[in-house]
């Protein structure tokens, strides 16, 4: 009479154990799957972050390329003209003064003819860096074309612009720009003009020449 009861209890216990084991196994599998998914999500997140960083860097490089001169690393003509338009608009709206300084390296063709275009490029680069070191925060300096450079001086009237131009001119002429193949001092012609009423960008630039 007792044996069947023990058998039933043993069977029931075995079934219960199997159920518990199955439940534990399912829970373990869910944990493993969740951990795998977490790792996968993290990996995807890192990949997306890296891709976004790469895109941000690419956009930055494209922005620099679109607004900067490839040789001197100064602002290019397109950007300079856009800044002139902005200053003209500010003058028309609020009367904000603005002056420009147009710089033209003297006898630059002779540098290329005598020393080669590599030396000519070096002159442009050194000229750019030296001039840039003398300008103020908030001023905009760029390569307007060839050996011409343009400095935009917001909120600056003519006397102050003339003073700055003379300081830059003297600084450039005081020390040779190149030392090889022989010391070469470069001078530049400077034209300065303050924006006037009822004036276009072209007429403003013409007055600075």
Question: Per-residue DSSP letters for 94-126?
Answer: H---EEEEEEEETTHHHHHHHH-HHHHHHHHHH
**Residue carrying structure tokens 């044996």:** 3
Name the catalytic one among 147, 148, 179, 199. 147
CB contact at 8 A, 149 and 93: no
**Residue carrying structure tokens 């079934």:** 15
Confidence of residue 70 (pLDDT cuts 50, 70, 90): very high
Sheet with 98-105: list strands edge to edge: 140-145, 148-154, 98-105, 188-194
> Considering the chain, what is the average pLDDT of its residues?
86
Q: Model confidence over 20-65: pLDDT tens digits?
A: 777 777 777 788 777 778 787 787 777 777 777 666 565 565 555 6
Please classify residue 33 by burial: count the beta carbons closer than 10 Å to its beta carbon, then call 0-12 exposed, 13-18 middle and 19+ buried: exposed
CA 124 to each of CA 33, 79, 108, 208: distance values in angstroms, whole numbers, following the listed order? 63, 19, 9, 21
Percent of the chain with pLDDT over 70: 88
Does 208 score more than 90 pLDDT? yes
More confident residue, 1 or 176: 176
Q: Model confidence over 128-179: pLDDT tens digits?
A: 999 999 998 899 999 999 999 999 999 999 999 999 999 999 999 888 887 7
Task: Say what the pTM is.
Answer: 0.73
* 77-207: in CATH 3.30.1330.50: no
Rounded-to-integer distance, Cα 125 and Cα 130, Å:
9
Does 10 score more than 60 pLDDT? yes
Rounded mean pLDDT of 77-103? Answer: 96
The whole-number pLDDT of residue 19 equals 73
Angle value at C-alpha 48, between 42 and 51, nearest 5 degrees: 145
Rounded mean pLDDT of 67-76? Answer: 95
Residues 6+ apart with CB under 8 A from 207: 191, 193
147 assigned to active site? yes
Confidence of residue 200 (pLDDT cuts 50, 70, 90): very high
Q: What is the signed CA dihedral for 185, 111, 166, 71, rounded to 10 degrees?
A: -110
The whole-number pLDDT of residue 166 equals 95
Distance of CA 43 to the CA centre of its chain: 30
Kind of pairing between the strands at 148-154 and 98-105: antiparallel
The whole-number pLDDT of residue 59 equals 59
Please classify residue 111 by burial: count the beta carbons closer than 10 Å to its beta carbon, then call 0-12 exposed, 13-18 middle and 19+ buried: buried
């Amino acid at each position: 009479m007792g044996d069947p009861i023990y058998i039933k209890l043993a069977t029931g216990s075995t079934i219960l154990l199997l159920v518990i084991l199955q439940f534990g196994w399912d829970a373990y599998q869910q944990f493993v799957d969740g951990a795998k998914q977490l790792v996968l999500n993290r990996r995807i997140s890192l990949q997306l972050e890296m891709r976004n960083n790469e895109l941000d860097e690419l956009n930055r490089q494209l922005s620099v390329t679109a607004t900067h001169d490839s040789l001197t690393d100064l602002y290019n003509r397109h950007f300079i003209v856009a800044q002139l338009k902005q200053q003209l608009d500010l003058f028309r709206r609020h009367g904000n003064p603005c002056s420009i300084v147009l710089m033209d390296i003297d006898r630059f063709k002779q540098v290329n003819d005598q020393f080669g275009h590599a030396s000519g490029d070096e002159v442009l680069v050194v000229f750019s860096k030296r001039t840039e070191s003398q300008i103020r925060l908030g001023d905009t300096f760029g390569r307007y074309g060839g050996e011409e450079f343009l400095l935009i001086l917001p909120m600056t009237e003519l006397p102050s612009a003339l003073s700055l131009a003379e300081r830059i001119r003297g600084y450039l002429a005081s020390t040779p720009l190149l030392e090889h193949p022989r010391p070469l001092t470069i001078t530049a012609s400077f034209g300065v003009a303050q924006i006037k009423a009822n004036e276009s960008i072209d007429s403003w630039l013409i007055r600075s020449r």
